[in-house]
Amino acid sequence: MTDPVVGLVLEGRYRLEERVARGGMSTVYAATDLRLHKTVAVKVMAEHLAHDPTFVDRFTREARAAAMLSHANVVGVSDQGSDQGLVFLVMELVRGRTLRDLLSARGRLTVAEAFAVLEPVLAGLTAAHRAGIVHRDIKPENVLIGVDGVVKVADFGLARAVVGTGQTSQTGGVLIGTVAYLSPEQLERGRADARSDIYAAGIVLYEMLTGQPPYGGDTPLAVAYQHVHHDVPAPSVEVPGLPWQVDELVARTTRRDPAGRPIDAGAFLAELSDVRRDLGIDPVPVPTGQSTAGPGTLRPTNRPTRPRPSDRHPSNPGTEVLGGRNARGGRTSMLPGMGAGPTTDVQGRRPGPARPRPGVPDHIRKRRARFAIAVVLLLAVTAGAIGWWFGEGRWTSTPELVGTEQAAALDLLREAGLDPDCCEEVWSEDVPAGTVLSTEPAAGAEAIRGTDVRLVVSKGKERYTVSPDLVGLPVEQVETELEDLPVQVTRGEDYDDEVPAGHVIRFDPAAGTELKRDQVVTVVVSQGRAPVAVPDVTGQSPEQATTNLESLGFTVERVGDGRSDAVDTGEVMAIDPAPAAGPVPFGSTVRIQVSAGLPLVAVPDVVGKSGDEAAQILQAAGLQVEATRFFGNSVLRQTPAAGEQVERGTSVTILLTFG
């Protein structure tokens, strides 16, 4: 029958060419990207699930989780969307087969081949774990082996980002996964972290070595019980001759207590490398199932040592769902053996009719009857628990978290069966940092267990600080640095004897002070040294005056000598700039003038004058008079002569005689 979806073009870009795989929840098609002209794989959600928010969310989460990863051993996802009623995501197309196909054909692998397959699986998981993503559904169906031998991890549909304590919880109140590979903590508490992927990878390693999972049973509950209550047996029990180091590796990675396992895929890969080195196992090509006999022909080597349960039907190799209800109120599919109708085992087989054995003793028949009654009672209790879960057990309400410290709020959400979406942080002037401000949904809202609750947490008061390291830097550089702070910057000026002009002296408020948004910060810029007052050094010797001025930072320059009545010869008589002019810039030049004696005056001509008149004239000129009288009162001659320059106060001798 022709698939009606083949030939459709989604979003005008992806033309579906052929169906390549089909599962219970989705179908994968080979398609052509009409825009980039390349072949891709398009995964289309099953029509009956496209209206269920839980599965649409899972589908979208797969796209987001895989898109976060860029690794050679992870199937890349490039697009996701919805068109013509189809919900889909676009992936790279891997031509080859799954590990399940390989094991179905080969039975089991050698130790070297198992390591060759597991190493790239762990490499891809390491990238996921380092990105904070837990796969939660590692199994042979999700390990793709390309025809070129490249191994890739696929189907991140159950992947969740870890929060809080590094764990994820069950999805939408429904535990989804493949029971043969679920870790004890997933089965008991619905919790998963990177170590849960390690457990599943250890189970896959066991299956590659022995050809079958470690546990089987008539019901999924029986298989789950063994995971929770029994240690995984050593592979050498099934395949004698396997090295004890391999047994120990399987035991370490499948311990029931998560704390005893490697912390993540990177640690598992390191231990695997150590075992390879200890055993001296050389790398071998990844088995692709191809042989020289032609395509699709496999060499039937390494068959299991004991009868192996038949595989599940290849058309539905999907993920089991333990209980749940979809968005329209209908029941989701349950694990085989939990619903009405004939019972099947975990491999999808329908067992044949029970055949009584003749000759069984009565006490054995009675024991079997009691066991059957116990099973019926157990199934009744299980059915009641499932009914309660589908009714009101999977619903919870959002607890009151406003005002609660963040760590306590996360614990309360997990106790209520909800997943924290943590955390959006906002500033608050009233609520301390780390305290919950609001939640979405709000407190008291009804929600399915596993629903994400978004927390808005206070970052405390919005405060900023100016780094003290900016003091002393050029003001232009400082203002550029402050552009990143939401404060208002102004500039002030001040003198400073140590900080060069144009550099920052200090801030107001001081650097390191907590500032509010838009608060004014003044950058105080140095104008250099403060002006200096010129001291009065008149009357000092030139040497002493120079020393005193230079100690204040002045440059001293001596100009030509002068004459002064007030200053003795050889002392400073004048300063420029004068002290009375006020302070001058630091480092200014000060000029000094030294006295060469009293001022000079020209001797007046008093020859022919009377003695009294001559004395008056000479004294008025600042000169002293010494008179020599010789029979008269008229000046006959004078010494120094008239017009000669002499110091003020010099004595002039006059000779008086008859005129």
pLDDT digits (tens, 9 = 90+) for 149-208: 999 998 875 555 443 334 444 444 444 568 899 999 988 887 889 999 999 999 999 999
- On the question of pLDDT at 84 being above 80, the answer is yes
Average pLDDT over residues 285-307: 48
Which one-letter DSSP state was computed for residue 182?
Answer: -
Alpha-carbon distance of 13 to 211, in angstroms, equals 42
* Residue 342: per-residue pLDDT: 33
* Residue 76: per-residue pLDDT: 85
Q: Residue 153's beta-bridge partner residues?
A: 74, 143
And the tokens for 300?
């039937």
Average pLDDT over residues 242-269: 95
User: Position 405: which residue type?
Assistant: E
Same domain, 401 and 425: yes
Same domain, 266 and 139: yes
Q: Which of 92, 127, 157 is the last residue of a domain?
A: 92
User: Position 65: which residue type?
Assistant: A
> If DSSP states are collapsed to H, E and C, what string results for 242-274?
CCHHHHHHHHHHCCCCHHHCCCCHHHHHHHHHH
User: Position 254: which residue type?
Assistant: T
Alpha-carbon distance of 393 to 173, in angstroms, equals 9
**Residue 349 falls within a domain, yes or no?**
no
Catalytic residue (one of 137, 155, 345, 452):
137
Higher pLDDT, 441 or 169: 441
pLDDT band with cut points at 50, 70 and 90 for residue 215: very high
Same domain, 206 and 111: yes
- On the question of pLDDT at 40 being above 60, the answer is yes
- On the question of pLDDT at 357 being above 60, the answer is no
Number of domains the chain is built from:
6
Q: Which of 322, 342, 365 is the last residue of a domain?
A: 322
Which one-letter DSSP state was computed for residue 392?
Answer: I
Alpha-carbon distance of 439 to 418, in angstroms, equals 12
Q: SS3 of 571, please?
A: coil
Q: SS3 of 277, please?
A: helix
Q: Which of 67, 92, 117 is the last residue of a domain?
A: 92
* Residue 364: per-residue pLDDT: 56
Of the candidates 560, 564, 569, the one whose C-alpha atom is nearest the C-alpha of residue 591 is 560
Same domain, 179 and 248: yes
Of the candidates 545, 541, 566, the one whose C-alpha atom is nearest the C-alpha of residue 557 is 545
Which one-letter DSSP state was computed for residue 496?
Answer: -
**Residue 352 falls within a domain, yes or no?**
no
Higher pLDDT, 67 or 296: 67
Of the candidates 52, 63, 4, 51, the one whose C-alpha atom is nearest the C-alpha of residue 29 is 4
* Residue 374: per-residue pLDDT: 74
| Structural domain for 237, as ranges | 96-293+317-322
Q: What does 582-615 look like in DSSP terms, one character per residue?
A: --B-TT-EEEEEEB-SSPEEEPP--TTSBHHHHH
Higher pLDDT, 371 or 348: 371
**Phi–psi pair at 8, nearest 5 degrees:** -70, 150
Domain CATH code at residue 17: 3.30.200.20
Write the pLDDT tens digit of every residue in 505-538.
999 999 999 999 999 999 999 998 889 999 999 9
Lookup result for tokens 């998963």: 192
Average pLDDT over residues 302-329: 39
Does 137 qualify as catalytic in the annotation?
Answer: yes
Write the pLDDT tens digit of every residue in 111-123.
999 999 999 999 9
* Residue 210: per-residue pLDDT: 96
Same domain, 61 and 204: no
Average pLDDT over residues 253-257: 95
Same domain, 145 and 283: yes
| Neighbour tally for 500: CB within 10 Å | 11
User: Position 346: which residue type?
Assistant: V
Same domain, 66 and 82: yes
**Residue 479 falls within a domain, yes or no?**
yes
Same domain, 632 and 645: yes
Domain CATH code at residue 519: 3.30.10.20
Per the CB < 8 A criterion, the answer to whether 239 and 206 are in contact is: no
Same domain, 424 and 511: no
- On the question of pLDDT at 600 being above 50, the answer is yes
> If DSSP states are collapsed to H, E and C, what string results for 320-383?
EEECCECCCCCECCCCCCCCCCCCCCCCCCCCCCCCCCCCCCHHHHHHHHHHHHHHHHHHHHHH
**Residue 363 falls within a domain, yes or no?**
no
- As a whole number, the mean pLDDT across the chain is 81
Same domain, 141 and 284: yes
**Residue 110 falls within a domain, yes or no?**
yes
And the tokens for 26?
């989705």
- Region of residue 324 (left: phi > 0; alpha: psi -120 to 50; beta: else): left
Per the CB < 8 A criterion, the answer to whether 28 and 123 are in contact is: no
**Residue 425 falls within a domain, yes or no?**
yes
Average pLDDT over residues 284-300: 54
In Å, the largest CA–CA distance within the chain is 193
Rg (CA), the chain: 51
Q: SS3 of 167, please?
A: strand
* Residue 388: per-residue pLDDT: 56
Same domain, 522 and 478: yes
* Residue 282: per-residue pLDDT: 94
**Residue 220 falls within a domain, yes or no?**
yes
Weakest mean pLDDT among 167-181, 467-481, 569-583: 167-181
Alpha-carbon distance of 456 to 441, in angstroms, equals 11
Lookup result for tokens 């002006």: 531
Q: SS3 of 624, please?
A: strand
Same domain, 102 and 66: no
Weakest mean pLDDT among 45-49, 60-64, 314-318: 314-318
**Residue 383 falls within a domain, yes or no?**
no
* Residue 340: per-residue pLDDT: 30
Alpha-carbon distance of 134 to 151, in angstroms, equals 19
Alpha-carbon distance of 538 to 507, in angstroms, equals 43
The percentage of the chain sitting over the pLDDT mark of 70, rounded to a whole number, equals: 81
